[in-house]
Homo-oligomer: A and B are copies of this chain.
Amino acid sequence: MSAWNAPTAAPSSYLVVTGSELVRGDRTDRNGPFLARELVRLGLEPARIAIVGDDPVELEAALAEGLRSDLCVVSGGLGPTHDDLTVQLLARAAGVGLRVDPRLEAEIERISRAVAERLRRPYADFEAGVRKQATVPEGAVSLGLAGTAPGLVLDTGRSAVVILPGPPAELQRLWPRALETEPVRRVLERARPPERRVLRFFGASESQVARALADAGGEPDGVQATVCARDFEIHVDLFGPAEALADELRRRLPKYLFAEDERPIEELVLQLCRERGLSLATAESITGGLIGSRLTSVPGSSEVYLGGVVAYSNELKERELGVPASVLRGHGAVSAEAAAAMAAGAREQLGADVAVSATGIAGPGGGTPQKPVGLVFLHAQSPEAELALEFTFRQDRESIRRRSAVAALHLVRRLLTRSRDTST
């Protein structure tokens, strides 16, 4: 069969992330996940993310592997010092020469002279570094500078190669420019961005969702479904023409399905409040500020969220939230009664329409047979209704706290969507 009749295979892609601090586990890589999401969105799911350190032999081997893909994206190793070898090793792996780009050199020199002046150091100290950073593979195109390091695109014939600086903000800034270059556009033209959906469930277990998926007949031809716990929610990611399967899942788990987009729960909660014209406050013990910090991570949250009290001590629960001493004495600070009083107190004392509270035992110490580590009480109250939740989550301190914060946000969501349901 002649080549132009063959079904076009999706182009392949490969990520090489460099950094000795990454291969030592001193820092968690953010560039690989960012680039991977971008490539998936463009229909170019990467075959591999290779994280390599400074070792030149290893780095060159990884680059050589990457050069066998249609698109190879490389991050890091572009600095002025001798141990930043990405450009040099890439040129060698690709079998192309290196040259000093005069325009790039002039640009980097200008910046470096300004730095030298500011630091009151002779420019001569910078000269070798400037020359090094202006040295690029023959035929490479500059994407512009990040500091003094140029992002680059190189067409090797076999492969389009994108070379980006390691700092995530810089990498993300230069990435869109790479997508507009000719070599990358030629690869993108052959890719088909996937039809993609996400169904998000809360309150169901991962196996419960997986079972619903199996009972719904599993993956039809051409559809890929993955079930994944993320931020204590269960996400079903559907790739391909999966509308029928999505319908089946909606039908089978209506109680747990709460969203079909990627916005974080704090954003959904703020939107629910905004739509209903309600202000929101928090009363946090076990979560110590996590709920507030998630809510305030959303731009514009101040329109809805007034603030809250982190009442870690019993005294602050009484003084700042008006929790009656009798409740603390009779039921303890970790009790459904205390949670209810905290939410009511937050509404009253902070003047909010809706309030949510969290109290519990995060551990590792402080548990008893009656009240073990991981026991958490949540309470949400609106002008019309309230909802309480108790759970025990046997995990480490940080997971217990984070899960409590997520569950508290979901409790507000349920409270607000439920009160709408009953009012219609």
Contacts and interface: CB of A to CB of B under 8 A. Distances in A.
A282 B38 CA distance: 39
B23 A46 contact: yes
B297 A398 contact: yes
A353 interface: no
Given A293-B293, A306-B312, A37 B51 contact: no
Nearest to A279: B313
A315 B351 contact: yes
A321 B324 CA distance: 21
For this chain, the copies found in one complex come to: 2
Contacts of A396: 169
A309 B307 contact: yes
A417 interface: no
Interface in A381-424: 395-398, 401
A320 interface: yes
Contacts of A45: 23-24, 53
A311 to B, nearest CB: 5
Contact of A397 (B297, B316, B397): B297
Given A27-B228, A35-B25, A316 B40 contact: no
A293 B288 contact: yes
Contacts of A306: 312-313, 315-316
Given A26-B228, A288-B305, A293-B401, 11 more contacts: A23-B46, A23-B49, A25-B40, A26-B226, A48-B50, A289-B310, A293-B293, A296-B310, A299-B363, A300-B365, A306-B312
Interface of A: 20-30, 32-38, 40, 45-53, 55, 58, 62, 119, 169, 207, 211, 226, 228, 230, 237, 282, 284-297, 299-302, 305-313, 315-316, 319-320, 349-351, 362-365, 395-398, 401
10 contacts: A24-B36, A25-B35, A27-B33, A28-B30, A49-B51, A288-B297, A296-B310, A299-B364, A305-B312, A320-B320
